[in-house]
Chains A and B, each alone.
Chain A
């Protein structure tokens, strides 16, 4: 990754000291998701807030889907007092796509406090999306107080008892992993031995030409371990995927987009539909970033236009796998 700013989208920030510009750019993504399309076994990912710039022909492929993340339904603090509205905005964008995606992936933190009404709220809003199937993985906010029982009952039917699962779509092998349970003091996200053993078996029989897409909430690469933005045993998981020519890892959790290419693996993180978080190490803590309430709406409202002309810091993520 070092020295390759093309691969890490957030590197392209304006060096203005404080993070306001970066924040505004990220807000352009609030209420949006990423449109992903497989073309010749290679996954390309586009910011939904810049769809206007896309040529519909270039967005056609064997399979398309949309990743959304970190809806945090129930959050109502200054950074975004109306997370339902920004999630609805994401659904509107999904429904405006020239060709409807096959399904949605939600990479966790569906709810803010694991409350039934928060899960209900997200499910209700996503019902109006053109894509009817939604594949979820839990975030740490979805498994509070009950070791994830509620999440598992609701969103993990047909999954392994721990909530992880895999499925095939048009020759692409998707793997949903859970790395927010049984977190240890001082540690990062964790997959655990049982899940790793399952993963090894799950991909063993696949041909090395099978495109693999892994999705989980906490990044499966060390984005910023000081803030817990990484997964303890992700290297072990990735070692099982070495034989594959095309591996894409989709994560949420950090409320901003980042991309990294390492060997055969491309890593993406998605923005939140609720509120942005600071860039790694650029604030005392990873808490939500705020602007005065009267600015939030205007920022949300105009950024789609403003940042079309802007730099590509958080713009199109248009990558090929090495």
Chain B
């Protein structure tokens, strides 16, 4: 009998949490519908970022992909973001939530520089 009570309370908790999850999920979906998520890609090739400068709206997720034979990194000059080393075909993404200019460079080959302008 004791066990049955325990199970019942567990189920109730589970249902409540699930309900919470659903409502949270729904609200996320709703906001996503209002404002579709924006994405942009920067290709790393021939020891350069292409395009070297991009303009994106707030909320954009920028993905860098390394198409070079040599590893590179994507490191914000102002320490806003920092990728691990990216070997050939590896990717790094960062979502820009605030407007501003974000200069960055490859910390292995610092002559490689780029900029994301978030509006």
Contact = CB atoms under 8 A, between A and B. Distances in A.
The answer to whether A and B interact is: yes
Contact of A285 (B47, B85, B110): B47
B110 A228 contact: yes
Contacts of A114: 85
B111 interface: yes
A155 B103 CA distance: 34
Interface string B46-58: 1110000000000
Interface in A78-132: 78-79, 112-114
Interface in B77-102: 77, 84-85, 87-88
Interface stretch (B1-9, B15-23, B32-40, B68-76): B68-76
B107 interface: yes
A114 B107 CA distance: 14
Q: Is the interface of A mostly helix, strand, loop or mixed?
A: loop
Give the interface size bracket for B toward A: 20 to 34
Q: Is the interface of B mostly helix, strand, loop or mixed?
A: loop
Interface stretch (A138-146, A244-252, A257-265, A292-300): A138-146
B110 A113 contact: no
Contacts of B60: none
A227 interface: yes
Nearest to A112: B71
Interface string A161-203: 0000000000000000000000111111000000000000000
Contact of B46 (A145, A185, A287): A287
Contact of B84 (A145, A226, A287, A288): A145
A187 B109 CA distance: 9
Contacts of A78: 69
Contacts of B113: 185-186
Contacts of A185: 77, 103-105, 110, 113
Given A185-B105, A228-B110, 5 more contacts: A77-B69, A144-B84, A183-B108, A286-B47, A287-B46
Interface of B: 46-48, 68-71, 73, 77, 84-85, 87-88, 103-105, 107-111, 113
5 contacts: A113-B71, A144-B84, A144-B108, A185-B103, A187-B110
